[in-house]
Amino acid sequence: MELKPSLDFLTRLKENNNKVWFDENRKEYESCRAQILEIVQKLIEGIASFDPSLTAVEAKQCIFRINRDIRFSKDKTPYKTNFGALMGAAGRKTEGTGYYFHVAPGHVFTGGGIYKPQPDMLAKIRQEIDYNSADLVKVIEAPGFKERFGEIQGEQLKTAPKGYPKDHPFIHLLRYKSYYVLEEYSDKNACSENFIKKALESYKEAFSFNQFLNDAIN
């Protein structure tokens, strides 16, 4: 099982992003989608071995539709040129932390964390960083974590969030509006036989990060 057929299909979709072409190639799309679902199911089962919140989750709950919502967009191309899945307790509808899987030509990655959390969740995360910054620093400065993910990703405020001083010792962590990490793979590595094993190692490294965020939210 590998990602090359899906990457090839997405490359062609990018060049022919219209309904006529898509309808003519729908069987190929459905074959690729089935393959992605199979991979995502394997990832879910692997993640559930260390994060029980995914125990009852199925791949079909996690994968995003390929159709774009173009109602409020200047870009009227009808299809996304990637496959994506959010593996969380409520599948793609998860509002808390999760594990993300993204497949696009030249842009395959695994990730963990929380994207654009609700204001109350974000406030709780910042409060936890304020109270227990050492716990988060221990996670994100661990050599394995640093090697895979580098820095936390996400948009940041230009100044201190309300209620926190600008000279807070961890202001660089408090300013985030999302808290997530990503590990990128070349297309060649993504198509290798041991990709699922590598991806699960990445998600396991992200688990401690998700744990910190979950403890804050809950």
Was domain 4-217 assigned CATH 1.10.10? no
CB 21 within 8 A of CB 41: no
pLDDT confidence of 6, banded at 50, 70, 90?
Answer: very high
What pLDDT, on the 0 to 100 scale, is given for residue 8? 97
Q: pTM for the whole thing?
A: 0.94
Which one has a higher pLDDT value, 2 or 206? 206
Per residue in 61-100, pLDDT (tens digit) is 999 999 999 888 888 999 999 999 999 999 999 999 999 9
Residue 92's pLDDT is 97
Are 79 and 66 a contacting pair, CB within 8 Å?
A: yes
Tens-digit pLDDT profile for residues 144-168: 999 999 999 999 999 999 999 999 9
pLDDT in tens, 134-143: 999 999 999 9
Instruction: Compute the average pLDDT of residues 44-71.
Output: 96
Q: Is residue 1 scored above 80 in pLDDT?
A: no
3-state secondary structure 26-94: HHHHHHHHHHHHHHHHHHHHHHHCCCHHHCCCCHHHHECCCECCCCCCCCCCCECCCEEEEECCCHHHC
If we measure between CA atoms, which residue out of 195, 213, 163 comes closest to residue 46?
195
pLDDT at residue 157 in the model:
96
Instruction: Give mean pLDDT, residues 40-47.
Output: 98
Residue 5 clears pLDDT 70, i.e. is over it = yes
pLDDT surpassing 70 at residue 121: yes
- Average pLDDT rounded to a whole number, residues 15-31: 98
